[in-house]
Structure 1
Amino acid sequence: MKIPIIRKGEYDIWSMRMRQYICHTDHNLWDVIVNGDLKEEPVPTGETSAPPAPKTAKQLAARRNQERVKSILLLAIPDEYLLKFHNVADAKSLCEAIKISWSLDKAYDRFQKLISQLEVHGALISKEDINQKFLRSLPSSWNQIALIMRNKPDIDEIDIDDL
């Protein structure tokens, strides 16, 4: 079977295909995404080293599964987006990051379509108003970034594509 590659605007279909692919490969791999990271001793606060090496056969198998799923997910991402995701720690977090990123792209595309339709009907909307409305429409996980961007002094001059 060929790994399904995610394409713009096709997250829902891709996620169904990816689940089937992963389950077909090894059903235990899907559990890695559902249940999250390995249950190992946490790395002490302030340290940036890798997690401790697995001590048991079960931990070793779990680590291998984690790496396999993460590799499969990274192979399913087009090259232009790969740098966004390569530092994500575990497969479950990677899966969530992909979902958030593609939902943001989808929201942006819908927003652009609405703005274009308003402009076709003669509505004049300032760049500041467009930017503020878009920032308010972002998912709650983007609240901190949206707050910072909303308070930028040049928000009224930034084009939405640059935002």
Structure 2
Amino acid sequence: MDQDSAHMVAASKVPMLKPGEFELWRMRIEQYIQMIDYALWEVIENGNTAPKTTVVEGVEKVMPPTTAEEKAQKRLEVKARSTLMMGIPNEHQLKFNSIKDAKLLMEAVEKRFGGNAATKKTQRNLLKQQYENFTAPSSEMLDQTFDRLQKLVSQLELLGETISQEDVNQKLLRSLSPEWNTHVVVWRNKTDLDTMSMDDLYNNLKVYEPEVKGMSSSTSTASTQANDTYSTNIDNLSNAVICAFFASQLNSPQLVHEDLQQIHPDDMEEIDLRWQMAMLTMRARWFLKNT
């Protein structure tokens, strides 16, 4: 497969521009074009050499390339522009189709989708606020927290906001849920936290995740088991009280625990009310006897 054919195949996978993500798209399109042919990106960055012109009847006209070097440069210009156009959404194709210079085309796309200084400042302030308020819920795994924070830091860097390595590492540690507190205290006092990469910190913390999440799961399981045991004990106590009540009645049949399972809920409520009345009667008799 020759270079032209390879370029056509690769161009079918060109990164597409999405509104609000110009900086990310510019980074990806740069990497993509450099992968295809580095000379194409040079044309986009530096522009093509000034074409030869001639004046015919007082009108300046561009002369077609004649030498092999001029023709090769023209092919680079066409490929660079075509690749950029393939990354622009269909609804914006007509707007940029009239621009034939690759460098001017990139500048026009940046002006339309990259925003001006005011919009970039607003976006940067919004991302900074999200960074300050960044937290991780207990249900979130460590890799999910790491990916979200890393994306946020990358977006800030694309907008020219520089964050120190120590600040990023401290933010990751502070954002973790309380179940990580023991390990967070240890790592926040590390002497090399200001030079350690975020990836290294993540990998070190990842070692403790099974222990941290396992402890949390065990605590939850123990709490559930304790609640179940408490509920069972309360039910047994209620059944024992009811059995005792019936046993105190001279003409009542003797009941066992299995018999209680057959009692209708409405009957159970009536039994409970009778038991309370019996207790009130006993208290009244005791009070009268002593007074």
What is the TM-score of this pair, normalised by structure 2?
0.34
Asked if structure 1 preserves the Cα contact closer than 8 Å seen for 2:77 and 2:101, the reply is yes
Q: Which of 27, 43, 62 pairs up with 2:73?
A: 62
Partner in structure 2 of residue 31 of structure 1: 42
Q: Which of 15, 19, 31 pairs up with 2:30?
A: 19
Distance 1:38 1:29 in 2: 13
Distance 1:13 1:90 in 2: 22
> How many residues align structurally?
110
Asked if structure 2 preserves the Cα contact closer than 8 Å seen for 1:38 and 1:63, the reply is no
Instruction: Could you tell me which runs of 5 or more consecutive residues in structure 1 were left unpaired when the two chains were aligned.
Output: 112-163
Distance 2:60 2:17 in 1: 31
Partner in structure 2 of residue 94 of structure 1: 105
Distance 1:8 1:79 in 2: 13
Partner in structure 1 of residue 20 of structure 2: 9
Larger relative CO (CA 8 A, sep 6+): 1 or 2?
1
- SS state at 1:104 partner: coil
Partner in structure 2 of residue 107 of structure 1: 119
Note the C-alpha offset of 1:104. Answer: 3.5
Note the C-alpha offset of 1:48. Answer: 7.8
Q: Deviations over 1:16-67 (max 9, x none)?
A: 1000111000011111012112322236497486x32111111101000000
Distance 2:55 2:108 in 1: 25
Rg larger in structure: 2
Distance 1:100 1:75 in 2: 18
Q: Which of 52, 58, 61 pairs up with 2:63?
A: 52
Q: Answer 1 or 2: which has greater helix percent.
A: 2
Distance 1:8 1:64 in 2: 30
What is the root-mean-square deviation of aligned Cα atoms in Å? Answer: 2.8
Distance 1:6 1:72 in 2: 12
What is the TM-score of this pair, normalised by structure 1?
0.59
Q: Deviations over 1:83-126 (max 9, x none)?
A: 11000120000000000000239939x69xxxxxxxxxxxxxxx
Give matches, 1:114-125, under 5 Å: none
